[in-house]
Structure formats: structure tokens, C-alpha cells
Amino acid sequence: KSFFHFQSKVFKNNITKVMSTQAMKHKIEEENEVQTGNDENKTPNNGEQEPSAKKAKLENEGTKQINTAESSVVENIEAESKVGMKMLINKYRFQGIIKQRFSDFMVREIDLDGNKTFLTDTNHVDDQKPATESNKGEPKEMKDTTCPIDDVTLVKRIDDFAKNESEETLDDRITFLNNDKENRKACHMYFKTKYQNLETDVINKENDTREFVIYYKKSKKGDPRARKNRNTEGQFCHFVLHKQNKDTMDTINLLSKKLRITSKLFSYAGTKDRRATTIQRVAVKQCRSKRLKELNKILINIVLGNFQYKSEPLKLGDLSGNEFTLIIRDVTNATENQIMDACRSLQENGFVNYFGLQRFGTGGAGTHEIGRALLKDDFEKACNLILAEPSENDNDRSKERNALKIYSNNKDPQKAFQALRNRNGIEGKLLSCLKNSPKDFLGALGRLPRNTRLLYLHSYQSFIWNNAVSYRLEKFGFKPVVGDLVLTSETDEEGHKKARLLTEDDIASNTFTIEDIVLPMPGYDVIYPNNSCYDYMKSLMEKDGLDITNMRRAQKDNSLSGAYRTFLVKPKNMTWELMRYDDFTISLIENDVDKMKKSEEEEKTKTKNENECKKESGEEIGENMKAKSSGDSETIKIGSGVDFAVGADDGNKIIISDDENEAKNSTETKITEIESSVNSVNSEPDKSGKSESAMETDSKTEADINDKDSKTLGVSDGKYLALKLIFQLPSSCYATTALRELLTSDSSFKAQQQLNANFNKKKM
């Protein structure tokens, strides 16, 4: 509390002390040349500006105010300020690169009970499926019965149809000509016996031909043969999705395509970063775990596992937060003590809880602009923004640049659709509708998943919230004021906490701090602050042609109820360590797939070594076993020429461990042996064609591979310095927003791209 009261006082004293963009750039250039050992930031001596000039600079030039006890600095970080991210707390900062490799950024979902999500097993669990689960299309065992149809392709199509694995819907049917009466009779008997959910029939066609028909059995009340009700216990298959450098929605669309089912059958608790390694839970309706497991053989950088059947799907928000494991590479412009001070400051003081840049898109039209168009019922503009030609910084949509360029220039959805490389994405869903109905923009938007449409709307809310928080902190500082909002213990019908206004008595009692203050995202079911912050939010939306008091729309999904969000957040369970490395292509984080593969390699190595030992003379084996039983450590020489220590740990690395030591070394969950097919699922290859894990294996000794408790994958005397961070944040909080409190450069793709370019020049 005292820290934030002090910060508020300093904020008011220094709010007019700013540094011009040009002067700040000069300062950064000097810092790049000379690494200072001073722990304190120096206040630039460039004079003071009038408050009006300072406000104009903040609003018009894309700058942000940094308030510390020693200085008040304005930096030109245009990308962040465009979406309202203008305030900082931390005074200790340094330069570094985030997400230089997608393996440098790992996100692990935490469920509502506080359990972290791990991928530990890829075996299917269909043998454990509940008895009440509908095993549709499962063939019965048939003695001495062969299929009367010789066409193998047709038989496979019927089998997939019976299991609901074909593209046909429940109303479809399979037909084929069959003029052989005896064969038709055999077909009737065969399919009715083998598939309990199918019916057969014959239709008389022209020229005295017969058409054999296969269709789904219709449910009839009281008919025990009727197709079982799908709304039974265990109809949702929950699994862990481990993905690398993949967007959540793109991954869901890919899975639905491979399974030939609609993406609407999938549910998840939240979307995760694209350029990262992410581990999250997903549920799919009426799909067997065995089918999901088989996808591991063909998917790249995606692994599915830890299957289980449940009676309910997942819903957005069914998580308490995420754990982040991050690597900041090429750390410069600070001493190691300053870096440690910066981490401690982030841990103790937290960060301004902005929605991060990824909330608003990586380039081109911002997702908040699309949300604004939806709220204004301007559906044509919303479609045009989604289908706009991507900018140079839009790395996510660059693959569809040609198709989007065609649409942006000619508004020809037919040609644009034909030029698409991926027709299952958002652009493909829009263009597939517009090519048939060029003016049905509302219908085209209806083709998008509901979660995608909500993302656009929530992005606009986030844009307003970010700007309002910056205004509130700039206007009133880091302390509660009359008219602010705090959450109460009361909840509404949906279980969300209600808010109330702070009174003069509340302020006088010092009951609340800035950590308790919340600000609403615009909606019809929230209350607003009773101070100038509300006036600012209202005027901001009026400029966009929207009324903050009217957030209901004719389209129910476009109506926004609003929500409350805290100003500041402190990372939980935060740890950090400095690491050194030489090769930036080698991963410094071990993910779940790496651990599973390592466990498999260890098991294979252990088995191989045991077999090798058995081939030794009985006398040598007897001596070794005697040494082991006496507790002495001894070295066994095996065929490969590698020394393996066996027995008690006398300070040497134990390579082959007994069951007790294996249990001791196992991490949070026992890792089940992964199928060999998963070995092909890897991360980025380097220029030599080797994958990350392959390069790691080449560079490690057997001791490294078996050292499960190793925390550092770098080298002690490496040329470059990296910072490894592990911390947990509540749901909807952004790790990149926390990192901006540590780094001198912004978190935009363009800024990080420039840092990467500078690093490549330095390597040369």
C-alpha cells in the first residue's frame, strides 16, 4: 500500500517531466553502445513541458508515460500506445528478445481446481469407455459371414458411414445398383446383422433396375432397436492438446477436417498464443479417443493425449489461469544485478493489466476495428476488414496474401476463394458464402464460429478498457479515489461478483489499494465509475458512433453484457534464472513431448543396457551385483564404450537407476511411453535440416539425457545471456504485458523483428 501511495505522489510531482521521442532514441542508442553499471536510471535534462503539451504528446504521437521515483520518461512505442497501453510501473528495465523461437514461450493451462495441464500419455481409452456411452456403428462379431459386395471402396464407404466417420449427415443415405435378387437378400442380412444402427431397402428404378439403399435407423419410442440417444454420460471426449507454432482455432479447424466432422463439436476453455508451445484441454462431442490418437501419426507440431470421457463439454472461461515458462534471449544494456532487481520489482509490484497486442491482431485491420463494425451493424465493413490485404507485419495471414489482395482490389469472392490456400480458415468460410451470395454479409459472418465473432467484439471492449485505464492512472495516479469501483462478495445469477462505488469514508479508512480497483468493459450489465473516467469512456465510444448505455443488439450474439477487470496484477509463484548459451537454435525449455521422448529413450537405453549386461560372463555380473548389494558404486563397461555408474550415489551421475531412484526422479506425473509415431512430431528445423530435439540429442551426453532434474539447458560459459522466467497469471492476463515492464522495447512483432535483425548482424 505504501509503495503505491508513494508512486502516486511521485507521479503527480513528475507528470510534466518528459523526454522527447528524439532525445529518447538518442539515449537508447547510447545505451546500446555502453552497458552501464549504475542501478539507477538518470533523469534526462530536457526541461519541462506544459501539461497540455504532455497530453497532446501522449494522445497524438503514440507515447507512454513511465513513472518512477527517479525519472519520468516518454518512449516512442507506437504499436502499444495505439491500443491504449501507455503506463508502466517498473523502473528497472533492459533489452532482450522475446519469442526469438516459438519454443521460448510455453503456456500451460490451469483448470478451475488449480491443476496444471500436462501431456503425459497418448494411449486411447476406448476400453475404458462407460457402458452408457453410445458405441454407434461398432460391428458385431459374425461367424462364417463374408460381405456379399466385392467393391472394396464401397464397403469402406459403408463402414465409415455406419461409424459416422464419413461426410454424409444423418439424413443422407448410400445407394448402389444391385439387380441380383439373391445378392440383395444377402446384403440385407449382412448389414442388418453387422450394423445395429443401419436399415436397408430396395427401390425400383427405370428399365426394371433395382437400387439398394442403406440409411440410418430412425429412433422410435419404445423400440429397443432404435438408435441410442446421444445425450448419454461420457459422450464428450476430453483430451490434452499440445501444439507448437499453431493458432488454437486453426488447430481445431485442422482436427475437424482430418476427422471429417464440424468444428462446432469442439470446445475449449480459452485460446492460446500462436507463436508458442501451448498445453491446453479440449473436448469433442461423439468422437472416440482411438480416432484422435491415430491423428498423432499425421499431425505436425501437434500431439493429442490424456484422453478421458466426460458428460459435459468445456466452456470458455473454464480455467483459473495459465503458467508461463519464458526465455528472453540476448539480454543486454543491464548488469546482472539490475536484471535481478527488475524481476523482483515485477514480482513485488506487478504490472498494469492491459490486454496485450495479440488481442488486437498482428497486422492489417485490428480485431477491435472489426468489433466496432459489428457493434455498428456495418456487416459489409466487418467482412471487408477481415478480408483486407494483410500488411507486411501480418505474419499470421501472409499465406493468404494473394487471395486477400484479389478480394481487396476487385471484390470478387469467387476468384479470391479459388486462390485460397486454406479454405477451412476464417477467410475461406466468409468467401465460400460470398461467392454464392455476394451481398449476404450477415450470412457470411454467421458461418464463422461463435467464439471468433465474440473475439472481435471483446477486442473492441478491450480497446476501450486499455485507454480508460491509462486515462484513470494518468488522471488520479496509483491510489483509490472516490467514485472508483471495487468488487463485493455478492454475486449475480451467473455467479459473477458485483461491484460497488467507493465513498469518501472508504478512502478515509484506507481499506482499499489500487490492487482492489476494477474498471468495467462496456456492457449492459455493469456499472461505471462515478468520476471523469466514465465521461472519458463515454466520449471515446461516441467518437466511434456508439452509445455506452446501449450495448444490446438485434443479433443476440452481438450484445455485450460487460465484465470487470482489475487495474494491476502480480505474478504468482514467480521464479527466474540467468542462463548462457552459444547456439540460439537450441531450445532452452523442455516441453512435455520432449520429456515423453526422453522417457522413452531412457527406457530403451535401460533395456538395452540390461540385455548387454546379461551377455557378460556370469562371474562379472556376479561381481557387479555383489557391489550393488553392498552399496558401493562401481562402473560397468559396456559394448558402446560408455561408462555407466550403478549403485549408491557417491556424488557421480547415476545413469542406470533402480526403481526407487526412478520414482524419486519422476516429475509431476509419471510419463507413459509415447508411441514411436510421436517421434516425428517436432519443432523448428535448423538450416542443416535437423530438428530442435535432434540437435539437442546430438549435443548432449548420456548423462544429460538422463538428468531429469536439470533446470538449465544452456552452457555455463556461453556467449549470449538469457533470462528464464516461470510465473502464473489469472485467465485473460497477458504474459507479454508483464514482460513490457522488464524490456525497453515494445512487444510488437515489428519491434521484435528488428531486434532479431540486430542480433543476426551481431552474430556476423
Tell me the three cell numbers of residue 349.
509490484
Helices 450-476 and 532-543, axial angle in degrees (round to 10): 130
Q: What b-and-e string marks burial along 267-306, b requiring 16 or more CB atoms within 10 Å of the CB?
A: bbbbbbbbbbbbbbbbbbeebbbebbbbbbeebebbbbbb
Active-site residue identified among 273, 318, 484, 594: 273
Angle, CA 67 vertex, CA 336 and CA 95 arms, to 5°:
30
Eight-class DSSP state of 672:
P
Torsion of CA 442, 443, 446, 447, to 10 degrees: -140
Residues 162 and 137: beta-carbon distance below 8 Å: yes
Eight-class DSSP state of 94:
B
The alpha-carbon radius of gyration of the chain (Å, integer) is 31
CA dihedral sign of residues 219, 222, 224, 228: positive
Helices 367-375 and 450-476, axial angle in degrees (round to 10): 100
Q: How far is it, in rounded angstroms, from Cα 551 to Cα 525?
A: 9
Place of cell 459416422: 164
Torsion of CA 644, 649, 650, 652, to 10 degrees: 40
- Phi, psi torsion values for 512, nearest 5 degrees: -115, 150
**Strand pairing category for 198-204 and 266-268:** unpaired
Q: Which of 506, 469, 471 is nearest to 488 (CA)?
A: 506
Tell me the three cell numbers of residue 715.
552452457
**Measuring CA to CA, how many Å separate 76 from each of 19, 240, 331, 475, 753?**
10, 41, 21, 21, 17
Q: How far is it, in rounded angstroms, from Cα 370 to Cα 427?
A: 14
Residue 273 falls in the annotated catalytic set: yes
Q: How far is it, in rounded angstroms, from Cα 100 to Cα 104?
A: 7
- Displacement of CA 162 from its chain's centroid (Å): 35
What is the DSSP track for 107-153?
EEEE-TTSPBP--------GGG--TTS--TTPPPP-TT---S---HH
- Displacement of CA 134 from its chain's centroid (Å): 32
Tell me the three cell numbers of residue 512.
482499499
Residues 234 and 286: beta-carbon distance below 8 Å: no
Q: How far is it, in rounded angstroms, from Cα 114 to Cα 93?
A: 31
Torsion of CA 236, 241, 246, 250, to 10 degrees: -10
Q: How many helices (H) and strands (E) does the chain have?
A: 25, 23
- Displacement of CA 606 from its chain's centroid (Å): 36
Tell me the three cell numbers of residue 9.
505522489
Run of H or E residues at 467: helix 450-476
Alpha helices in 163-202 (DSSP H): 181-194
Eight-class DSSP state of 559:
-
Q: Which of 45, 52, 37 is nearest to 72 (CA)?
A: 45
Residues 220 and 260: beta-carbon distance below 8 Å: no
Run of H or E residues at 426: helix 426-434
> Three-state DSSP class for 558?
helix
The end-to-end CA distance of the chain, in Å, is: 49
Place of cell 449476404: 440
Residues 211 and 176: beta-carbon distance below 8 Å: yes
Q: Which residues are identified as catalytic?
A: 273
